[in-house]
Chain A
Amino acid sequence: MAIRHVIMADPQGLAVHVRPLLAQLSSHLELVAVPDGARCITAHAKLCRAKRPALIVVLYEELTNVSGQRVGATIRSVESALGTGSSAIIYVSDSDDANRLTGEWGRAVPLKPKTDDSPEERSKRLIRAIAKILSQLKQKSKS
């Protein structure tokens, strides 16, 4: 089974906690952690160009250079331009707009951040969300 990528625009430095948890979840998943919105677009477009689009993109609302909201829109435009499959998007935001935006993008879910939690707790919560999406993607591919 080929390696699939999970891109995480990671302004909070959670990648160090998420990486081992993701490896436990599946040995076929590789985490690509990037510090800002622009690098998230580059990572996603590179994978699309290689015809291996990312399986999941984790986007935080607050990202430097390009905000999470615009990164989500850009991801869909790049996929449309290159004719590749759509990555699932987890949009971490407590904005009221999160539901509307993820609905517009399609194949996307909003996730409310819990800022009081420790980084380990937040990472586990994110992994649970990723596991849920993987399960839904598997069911979809079977049907």
Chain B
Amino acid sequence: MMACRACGHAGPTRGIDDGKFLLSVCSACGFGIGLTANAGASHDSGLSQVNVPSGPHTAAYQLSPTGPQKILEDPSVPGDVEDTETVAQSHDGTIILCTADDALNEVFSTWCASHGQGQLDRVMTGQDMVRHITQRIEEFDDTTLCVLDERMDEFPAVELGFAIRAIEAAFDRSRTQLAILGQDSSATHEACKRLGNTTLISLDEVNHVDGPARILEALRESSQGVTSS
């Protein structure tokens, strides 16, 4: 049995079956482990995978720009959605990671790849972070999360957070979610509250043997609206 690369858990995995593929995820942390073709899926025709409107439904499509737009079905009501899927749905845009730590970058790259994230941009300094977020705010405004590493001497994470908030204010943009990897102190908690929409992830957890899994858990909580861990 393959051990999970995120948390090291060697126990059983869970499977997510969409009919054609089977995605194995760690039962402990939800980390994606492998993707295999489902043996029972039919691959007789490429056309069978294309969604072609036909039969009675075709009449319901109104392609005229002046015609009424009819929705065939109501949007599906979410049922018992697993945590991993919740995270994948909540970070569709770009995550910007500001750290000089290569290992941490590897953790986030793996996480983003396995959870189907849109894009992970890494910057090495606070100044590069400011430049990058300014460009993204002006051009795209699709940044969903900025992860700031307090271990950067050149631009402390809390000050960088306030700088990002100041730029957002200048462009009349809402507050991007921030995650600060820093010391678990009352001062940093207080700063996170003042920054708003900010999660503190303790450096003790990052350095722990289960660090990656704990980071993922904190991000999962933050994506569900928890502002301070």
A and B: bona fide binding partners: yes
CA distance A38 to B165 in the complex (A): 8
A82 CB within 8 Å of chain B? yes
Give a binary string over B162-205; 1 marks a CB under 8 Å from any A CB, 0 the rest.
11011101110000000000000000000000000000000000
Which B residues, 30 to 72, have Cβ-Cβ distances below 8 Å to chain A?
Answer: none
With both chains docked as a complex, state the minimum distance between the C-beta of A52 and any C-beta of chain B, in angstroms: 13
Give a binary string over A22-43; 1 marks a CB under 8 Å from any B CB, 0 the rest.
0000000000000001111111
- CB < 8 Å: which of B131, B135, B156, B170 contacts A45? B170
Given known A-B contacts A81-B134, A81-B135, A82-B138, A73 and B155 have beta carbons under 8 A apart? yes
Given known A-B contacts A39-B166, A42-B169, A65-B162, A78 and B134 have beta carbons under 8 A apart? yes
A132 CB within 8 Å of chain B? no
**Nearest B residue to A80 by beta-carbon distance?**
B131
A49 CB within 8 Å of chain B? yes
A122 CB within 8 Å of chain B? no
CA distance A39 to B127 in the complex (A): 18
- CB < 8 Å: which of B126, B128, B170 contacts A46? B170
Which chain A residues lie closer than 8 Å to B170 at the CB level? 41-46, 49
Which A residues, 80 to 109, have Cβ-Cβ distances below 8 Å to chain B?
Answer: 80-82
Which chain A residues lie closer than 8 Å to B138 at the CB level? 49, 81-82
B159 CB within 8 Å of chain A? yes
With both chains docked as a complex, state the minimum distance between the C-beta of B136 and any C-beta of chain A, in angstroms: 9
- Name the interface size band of chain A: 20 to 34
- CB < 8 Å: which of B126, B127, B162 contacts A38? B162
Which chain A residues lie closer than 8 Å to B104 at the CB level? none
A77 CB within 8 Å of chain B? yes
B29 CB within 8 Å of chain A? no
With both chains docked as a complex, state the minimum distance between the C-beta of B174 and any C-beta of chain A, in angstroms: 15
CB of B126 within 8 A of CB of A37, answer no
CB of B162 within 8 A of CB of A78, answer no
Given known A-B contacts A41-B170, A45-B170, A70 and B134 have beta carbons under 8 A apart? no
CB of A78 within 8 A of CB of B159, answer no
Given known A-B contacts A45-B171, A73-B155, A81 and B131 have beta carbons under 8 A apart? yes
Which A residues lie at the B interface, using CB under 8 A? Answer: 37-46, 49, 65-67, 70-71, 73-74, 76-78, 80-82
CB-based closest 7 A-B pairs: A45-B170, A81-B134, A41-B166, A77-B130, A77-B131, A38-B166, A65-B162
Q: A39-B166, A66-B162, A73-B130 are in contact. List 7 more A-B contacts (CB 8 A).
A: A37-B159, A41-B163, A45-B134, A49-B138, A76-B127, A77-B134, A81-B130
